């Protein structure tokens, strides 16, 4: 059987590199092309396990390069897009916001344009061989801004992004929506809460805390540590993407979250408690925690009501935080004790 080509962008990053092996092992009928610019955030070591897989190809390239996208669509006859590529670190977006607009907004725009022209004859009319082609846009709950102590984000929450990162992702969501409304492009968007798990870049909260703790360095926590995030194990996110990609309704948005709210301080304490059990030192790792000046515009709380994806598509997270965080810490202990940290 001829395999359908799925263009995955940003597959060498944290979520993409968890998604591709999962997707390849589940679906022998797709060929995945991973297009990644290998910015500081992308690492092909994350994909070692599938680099020789017959249904996998890697292309080093940038979604800002529209001509390259045109060539890829032509040469490989791309049938579907699952779009992860983004500048994703909020702190970097505060220091240098323009690259976030270039990749997250213009890069998404290029992909939408190339997909539309390749797949469609005119608005709302697909070319025969692309009539099932789908564009899946991966986004974040941060587009909805910050919650107070109560309430949850739903698909109907107003957009209120507060950082250049979330504003650029919000803009890309809007472009995706407009391609559905204006051209009838078969799009779906998923907005997910904070992910945790293996293969995340060293700069992010959980890997940073584990690495520094293992090194006996102080553990920096923004502000008073009371900011709340809704944490989801990355593989549960991958399963939700799979479900929405295959079964979600065109033009719809699905929020994905683990109903697992934790303050940043709680996250640090959970990591320290586990390390105290596993690799005890003279004093608790908790003594390393200290508070640093808060991030400007730091959102207080994100929390998702995932009722829509649960009831319409039957998704449920499978990993509990208790087991997921242990697996995650073990993975980073293994990584960091094998290398200079
Ligand atoms: P990441 O930063 O780990 O990976 C991003 C990947 O995109 C990297 O491999 C990088 O090399 C690549 N990339 C960046 N700019 C590119 C460009 N111009 N052209 C081609 N490739 C480029 O990010 P992640 O955490 O894996 O997030 C993936 C997606 O999921 C993003 O769209 C992000 O907004 C979204 N998201 C992330 C989280 C989370 O908790 N990490 C939560 C919700 C949504």
Catalytic residue among 87, 141, 242, 319: 141
Is 247 a domain residue?
yes
Which of 158, 178, 163, 6 is CA-nearest to residue 77?
Answer: 6
Backbone angles phi, psi at 97, to 5 degrees: -70, -25
Residues in the chain: 341
Q: Are 229 and 177 in contact (CB under 8 A)?
A: no
Ligand 1 centre from 124 Cα, in Å? 30
DSSP 130: G
Ligand 1 first shell, C-beta below 6 A: 9-10, 12-16, 36-39, 41-42, 62-64, 84-88, 103, 107, 138-140, 169, 192, 194-195, 201
Q: How far is CA 218 from the centre of its chain?
A: 28
Domain carrying residue 242:
4-200+230-259
Catalytic residue among 165, 254, 332, 336: 165
> Which pair of structure tokens corresponds to residue 241?
């993407």
Is 131 a domain residue?
yes
| Three-state DSSP class for residue 17 | helix
Structural domain count, the chain: 1
Is 206 a domain residue?
no
C-alpha neighbours within 13 Å on the C-beta side of residue 125: 2
CA dist., res. 18 & res. 266, Å (int):
25
Q: What is the pLDDT of residues 41-76, one digit of tens each?
A: 999 999 999 999 999 999 999 999 999 999 999 999
CA dist., res. 170 & res. 168, Å (int):
5
Is 18 a domain residue?
yes
Is 298 a domain residue?
no
| Residue that has been written with the tokens 């649960």 in this structure | 310
Which of 132, 137, 27 is CA-nearest to residue 78?
Answer: 132
Determine the pLDDT at residue 1.
66
Is 26 a domain residue?
yes
pTM above 0.85, yes or no: yes
Is 307 a domain residue?
no
Residue to probe by mutation, ligand 1, list 36, 88, 196, 201, most atoms within 8 Å of CB: 88
| Residue that has been written with the tokens 């994806």 in this structure | 309
- Pairing label, strands 135-140, 78-83: parallel
Ligand 1 centre from 54 Cα, in Å? 25
CATH code at position 75: 3.40.50.720
Q: How far is CA 163 from the centre of its chain?
A: 17
- Pairing label, strands 125-126, 78-83: unpaired
Is 236 a domain residue?
yes
CA dist., res. 23 & res. 198, Å (int):
16
| Residue that has been written with the tokens 């009928």 in this structure | 29
165 is an active site residue: yes
Determine the pLDDT at residue 331.
97
Residues of the chain with pLDDT under 70: 1, 339-341
């Amino acid at each position: 059987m001829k395999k359908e080509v799925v263009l995955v962008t940003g597959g060498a990053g944290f979520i993409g590199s968890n998604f591709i092996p999962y997707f390849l092992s589940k679906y022998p009928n797709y060929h995945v092309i991973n297009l990644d610019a290998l910015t500081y955030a992308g690492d092909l070591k994350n994909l070692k396990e599938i680099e020789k897989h017959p249904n996998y190809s890697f292309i080093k390239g940038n979604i800002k390069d529209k001509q390259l996208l045109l060539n890829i669509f032509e040469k490989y006859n791309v049938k579907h897009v699952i779009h992860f590529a983004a500048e994703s670190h909020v702190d970097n977006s505060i220091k240098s916001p323009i690259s976030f607009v270039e990749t997250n907004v213009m890069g998404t725009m290029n992909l939408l344009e190339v997909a539309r022209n390749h797949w469609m004859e005119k608005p709302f009319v697909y070319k025969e061989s692309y009539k099932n082609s789908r564009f899946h846009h991966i986004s974040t709950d941060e587009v909805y801004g910050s919650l107070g102590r109560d309430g949850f984000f739903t698909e109907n929450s107003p957009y209120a992004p507060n950082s250049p990162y979330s504003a650029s992702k919000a803009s890309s969501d809007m472009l995706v929506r407009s391609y559905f409304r204006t051209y009838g492009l078969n799009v779906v968007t998923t907005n997910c809460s904070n992910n945790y798990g293996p293969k995340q870049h060293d700069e992010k909260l959980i890997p940073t805390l584990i690495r520094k703790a293992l090194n006996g360095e102080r553990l920096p926590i923004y502000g008073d540590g009371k900011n709340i995030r809704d944490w989801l194990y990355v593989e549960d996110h991958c399963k939700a993407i799979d479900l929405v990609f295959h079964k979600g309704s065109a033009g719809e948005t699905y929020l994905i979250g683990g109903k697992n709210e934790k303050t940043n301080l709680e996250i640090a304490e959970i990591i320290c408690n586990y390390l105290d059990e596993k690799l005890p030192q003279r004093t608790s790792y908790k003594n390393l925690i200290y508070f640093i000046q808060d991030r400007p515009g730091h959102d207080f709380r994100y929390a998702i009501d995932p009722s829509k994806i649960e009831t319409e598509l039957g998704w449920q997270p499978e990993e509990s935080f208790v087991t997921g965080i242990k697996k995650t810490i073990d993975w980073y202990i293994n990584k960091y004790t094998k290398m200079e940290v």
